[in-house]
Structure 1
Amino acid sequence: MTKITSMVLASMLLLAGGAAAQEGGKAISQTTISLGTATPGGGFPLFGDNFAAVMNSADPALVIAPRNTKGSYENIPLLEEGKLDLGLVAGEPAYEAFKGIKRPVTPLKILVAMYSSPGMFVVRADSPYKKIQDLVGQPVAFGAKGSGLPVMSRFILDALGLKQDEDFKAIYLDHAGDGPAMVLDGRAAALWGAGSGWPGFTTMAKSQPGARFIAPTAEEIARIRARHPFLKPMTIPAGSYPGQTAPIDSLGSWGFVLTRADLPDDIAYRLIRTLHENEAALCRKLSQACETTAANTLSAAPDPSLIHPGVMKYLREIGVAKP
């Protein structure tokens, strides 16, 4: 069976499944859609599992099957090779792929923007570290190998005149969930992460003796923005983590659910329509997914041409995008 024939059959199955579901009482033809996430214990598997649960419940004809990977830098080539249908990709690796930085320009498309990810460090509340410069020379866990987190930190530190692998004793994790334990038992002075509801930050904040967050200062944010304008000012609201009584200003980027370049338009259309109709349900399951909306997808995309044509068709229909 050729790839094109498989795509056509997948589209037919999807449409037939929708019709059977509406009739009720009959077997539903299902189309399985693979979704690459990241290593266990990180934010991508948490998002992917909740995203799949809401989408699968809303449309039984679609079966989104999350799969653990090494993260953004594995998901991109797997999508390009057609070994994944969808993949979660952090903002910085997506930016590099879309721009062709140190690699060919990718043909992948955006299905939906996930959530904003302002980056920052977390340390034990009883540690002596108060600012980024205090961490110079210390062992720091920058995230899982293959994930986008170490790339974000590299951009930010570069703008501050710091080299991640030379000015710090950089640690790259096999599994994202290993980071908090390393800080709590002293193997690492700090853990780098991003966003509201990030599992590593939650674990640290709930631990004894608690956590302290270290983000760039206002002056440092200005320096970073001047060098890397694709990084946007973002704020983590007060109360996002236990014991966090004040908002935290930082900067970061939006992560995306990307699709393989040849995902049929009708499947992308159905996925974004199902998501848009169930945004509130996804928000109730996962606080950071409250940002996973059709409207945010258009505003977060570096260029509208990068959004999947099937998605753009739906965004025009609901008035989010111009006809």
Structure 2
Amino acid sequence: MTGAEANRRRLLGAACSTAAAAALAGCSQYSEPVRRLRFATGPEGGPYNAFGRALTTAVARRTGRLRIGPVSTAASVDNLRMLDDGSAELALAMADSAQDAVRGLPPFSRPAAVTALARVYVNYTHLVVPANGPVRTVQDLAGRPVAVGAPGSGAQVVARRLLRVAGLTGRRSVRERELGLAESVASLRAGSVDALIWSGGVPTPALSVLARQLPLRFPPLDGQVSELRERYGPVYTAVTLPAGSYGLEEPVGTIGVGNYLMARAKVPQRAAREVLQVVFDEWRVLLREVTAGARLEPRFAISTGEVPLHPGAVAYYRSVYG
């Protein structure tokens, strides 16, 4: 090899090294690390958990920089506490529990640092009893064993408020059984409780299965809506279990409560906007396993009452809808 050839090879090697270094620098300049957000959902088999799994899959498919890890919980109250203490970045929560969290009302000892991304759908309160049993109205629950939801769940918050406004306190109190949905269904089927109170989408799959195994009655609850609103605010609305659900021949009036997709205030605005983009693009898939016939619309989504919208959510709605 001549001296000229050796010099030429050294120059080519230096050029290749420089190009490689530049390429690496370019990658580090323009690529971003994957951001991971923990998502507090609900118990396995429940609607919050189903929503969380669906959103996890959709985000992984649609975004390159964002990943969501769903975490099973007791649901609303637990989820809000996890947001506040930093053990989760995203969560689902019922509107009444979220309102209590920002107000710092029991079971929260102080105002929680939580924000909303969107109101995503409405829960329907179900009072479920055997059709051949003695319970025909909420008043008939007095003194009876009733499954009121798991500790830390939003369903339990609604159940206890319902019983309170119905006057089922003191000597007329029910015998509460703190059970999650699966345990409540099993207990009603076995006859160890006379009723269960549940708040969820329509139809709730576990209740649809139960209705095929045991004739059920759904006593109306809409008569308690005005008292709930007077005591606790407009988070409660009158809604209707539609005919056909669970074999119902006629619609049944009941209590509606919104569900919020929540976030810690410290979640970066860009991440919040990316999550919302996926939610609005994929809402049909996300809600398919949660509640039938629901739609997600901006005017509905921004209705989060006293719970402030995350700055990233505000920016998203302004950019898309003006």
Q: TM-score, normalised by structure 1?
A: 0.81
Q: Given that residues 58 and 278 in structure 1 are in contact (C-alpha distance below 8 angstroms), is that contact kept between their aligned partners in structure 2?
A: no
Quick one: structure 1 residues 125 and 226, their matched pair in 2 at CA, closer, same or farther if it must change by over 3 Å? same
Describe how 1:72-151 pairs up with structure 2 within 5 A: 72-102=76-106, 103-151=109-157
Question: Could you say what secondary structure the match of 2:127 adopts?
Answer: strand
86-95 vs 261-270, which deviates more? 86-95
- Residue 171 of structure 1 is matched in structure 2 by 177
73-82 vs 231-240, which deviates more? 231-240
Query: Percent of counterpart pairs with the same letter?
Result: 23
CA distance in 2, matches of 1:36, 1:54: 17
Letter in structure 2 aligned against 1:308: H
- Residue 315 of structure 1 is matched in structure 2 by 317
- Residue 70 of structure 1 is matched in structure 2 by 74
Structure 1 residue 251, shift from structure 2 partner: 1.9
- Residue 6 of structure 1 is matched in structure 2 by none
Gaps of 5+ in 1: 1-12, 18-28
Describe how 1:1-323 pairs up with structure 2 within 5 A: 16=31, 30-102=34-106, 103-163=109-169, 167-173=173-179, 175-195=180-200, 196-207=202-213, 209-218=214-223, 220-239=224-243, 241-288=245-292, 290-299=294-303, 301-303=304-306, 306-319=308-321
CA distance in 2, matches of 1:34, 1:284: 22
CA distance in 2, matches of 1:240, 1:98: 38
- Residue-by-residue CA offset, 1:12-34 (whole Å, 9 max, x unaligned): x9x946xxxxxxxxxxx633221
284-293 vs 137-146, which deviates more? 284-293
Q: Given that residues 34 and 65 in structure 1 are in contact (C-alpha distance below 8 angstroms), is that contact kept between their aligned partners in structure 2?
A: yes
Letter in structure 1 aligned against 2:182: G
Larger radius of gyration: 2
Question: Could you say what secondary structure the match of 1:253 adopts?
Answer: strand
Gaps of 5+ in 2: 1-27
Quick one: structure 1 residues 84 and 280, their matched pair in 2 at CA, closer, same or farther if it must change by over 3 Å? same
CA distance in 2, matches of 1:192, 1:72: 16
| RMSD between aligned residues | 2.6
Structure 1 residue 284, shift from structure 2 partner: 4.2
